[in-house]
Amino acid sequence: MNLKNLAILVSSVSLFAACHKKPEQSSVTGWNYNDSKMGGFQVSKEKEQHTGPGLVFVQGGTFTMGATQEDVMRDWNNVPRRVTVNSFYIDQTEVANIHYREYLYWINLVFDADEYKAVREAALPDTLCWRSELAYNEPMVEYYFRHPSYNFYPVVGVTWRQAHDFCLWRSDRVNEKLLMDRGYINQNAVKNLQGLGQENFNTKAYLMGEFQATPDKRARSKSNPLKNPNGTPRTQVTFEDGILLPNYRLPTEAEWEYAALGYINQNPLPSFKDKQRGEELIANKQVYSWSNNVNGLRDTRHGSWQGTFMANFKRGSGDNMGVAGGLNDNAVYTAPVKSFFPNGFGIYNMSGNVSEWVGDVYRPMTGQDADDVSPYRGNHFNTVDYGKEGKAERDSLGRIKMRYMTDSESQGRRNYQKSDVINYLDGDSTIAGISYGYGKTTLISNKSRVVKGGSWNDRPYWLSPGTRRFLEEDQSNSTIGFRCAMDRVGSPAGNGRQTGVNYKQRRQNTRKQ
C-alpha cells in the first residue's frame, strides 16, 4: 500500500469516527445531549469568556480597602478593611473623547427624528465645565472635546448618568457585532442605521425575542453549530450559547480600587499549570497604583526611573507641569489615555489624569457595613415590566421596559426584604428629622456617587487609590472622567485555569457489593 492510499484510508477512518462520535450524556439521567431522538436538549460545549474590546482581565482576590496614609482631610470615610473582590474586566484606559464622539454620532444617526431631540441633547457632555471665573479656559471649552489633537484624551464634563448610559450603548454595539461576525445578524441589515429609533439592536430585547434580527445565510447553513431540537440550524442565539458578552457597566468602588493597586506584581505570576501559584503576598501596602515596592520606585533592566513623573497631577500651588525645558509630567491639563506607565494589571492612569466615576452611591461609612465579598452600595432591585397584558415591551429607545420590585414582592425572602436598599444599614433614616435630602441636612443624597482617583488638578494625596470623594450623579466636572468594567463569568482564576483545587482521582474498589 503506497503512502497516498494509506493517507486516504486514515482520513476515511477519522471521518467515520467523527460521524459516529458517541454523543455526550447527562450524568444525572443518562439521556443524550444535542440528540433530536432523545428530546433535543441543546448544550453548548464548555467555553471560556473572551475579553471584550478595550478590556483587560483582573484576577480577583483579597486586599485591604481604604486609607493607605494619614487621613489629612479628616473625612474619616476610608477606614481600612479587608474585603474580597471577584474577578472582573476593566478598561485598559479611560474613555477618550473619540470614543464618546462615536457614541454621539450613533445617537444622532439612529435617533434623528424630532421626537428624540431630548435624547440627543441629554447625551452631550458639558464643555462649559472648563470655565472658571478667574481663568482663561475658553480654548478648552471650544476645542478640547472635538479637535482631533485631543482624540485620545479622556472625556470630561460627563455626568454619572451619562457614563452609565454610555455603558448600556457599548454593551449593545459589542454584542451586535459578535452576532454579525458569526452570521446570526445580516450585516446588510445594519448598513442603514439612520432613523432606526426604537428598532435598534438591544441585547436583552434580542434574547427575549422582542427584537427580530435578519440572519445571514451562514446561520441557515448546515455548518451552523447551533441546532433546534429537530436538528435543523438555529438562527436565534441564547445566552447559554456562550457567544454574547455580559453588559459593560461602571466598576464598583471596590473593583476600581483593587484594580488600581495592581497587587499581582507582588506575587510570581500564576502559571497555567495548576501545580503552581503565587505566594499570597499582600504585606506591601503601596500608596500609589504604579508602585512595585513600598518606596514607590520602579526599576528596569535599563536603569532606575526614579525621579521621573509616573502620573499627571499637580505638584504644588501654581505648578501643574513644571518649568519650560524641564517639564515634569508634560501636561498642564489632561494627558492622552495611554500616557505614563501602566500598573501591575496593565491599566493606565489609575492615579492621576482624571478622577473617575464608579457605580457606588456615596456614604462615609459604607466600607464598615458592606459585605466582605464584592462590597457595593447602590442596589435598587428591578425586574421586567410585563404590563397588564403579561408581555414584555420595549421603550422608545428600544430597551426592554423594567420596573422596580415592590416591597410586597420581596418581603417573603430571607436574603432581602426591600427592593430599594440604598439606605440599608445607613442609620440616619431611623433618626427623627434626619434624611438625605440634598440642601436640607447634608450634602450627601441618594444621588451622590463615589469618585475615585486623583486628577490633573489634584495634589499627590488624592492619587492614592484608597481616597474617595463624591458628586451628584447629574453633575460633571473638568477633572472627572470614567472607564467601563464587565463581569467575569466562569473560572475566577482566568481562561485556561481551573476553579478550585483538583487532585488526581485514586482508583476505587469497584467490586459489586
pLDDT per residue over 16-40, tens digit each? 444 456 778 888 988 888 887 888 7
pTM exceeds 0.85, yes or no: yes
The answer to whether 349 and 311 have CB atoms below 8 angstroms apart is: yes
pLDDT at 417: 87
pLDDT at 305: 58
pLDDT at 58: 95
- What Cα–Cα distance (Å) separates residue 118 from each residue in 102, 164, 169? 18, 17, 17
pLDDT at 436: 52
Domain ranges of the chain: 44-182+243-373+437-487
- What Cα–Cα distance (Å) separates residue 244 from each residue in 1, 113, 428? 50, 30, 42
pLDDT at 268: 57
Cell numbers at residue 47, please? 467555553
Smallest CA-to-CA distance from 79 within 71, 88, 87, 89 is with 71
pLDDT at 71: 79
Smallest CA-to-CA distance from 379 within 410, 408, 412 is with 410
Neighbours of 467 (CB within 10 A): 26
Residue numbers of the chain with a pLDDT score lower than 50: 13, 15-19, 294-296, 431-433, 439
CA dihedral 32, 245, 495, 224 (to 10 degrees): 40
Rounded CA Rg of the chain = 27
The answer to whether 397 and 198 have CB atoms below 8 angstroms apart is: yes
pLDDT at 20: 54
Cell numbers at residue 190, please? 445594519
Tell me which amino acid residue 165 is.
D
Smallest CA-to-CA distance from 215 within 178, 192, 189, 252 is with 189
pLDDT at 500: 67
The answer to whether 466 and 459 have CB atoms below 8 angstroms apart is: no
pLDDT at 458: 93
pLDDT at 1: 54
pLDDT at 36: 78
pLDDT at 72: 80
pLDDT at 115: 94
pLDDT at 17: 47
pLDDT digits (tens, 9 = 90+) for 368-409: 888 999 999 999 999 999 988 889 999 999 999 999 999 889
Smallest CA-to-CA distance from 445 within 365, 513, 363 is with 363
How many residues belong to the chain?
513
Smallest CA-to-CA distance from 466 within 308, 309, 291 is with 291
For domain 44-182+243-373+437-487, say whether CATH 3.40.190.10 is its number. Answer: no
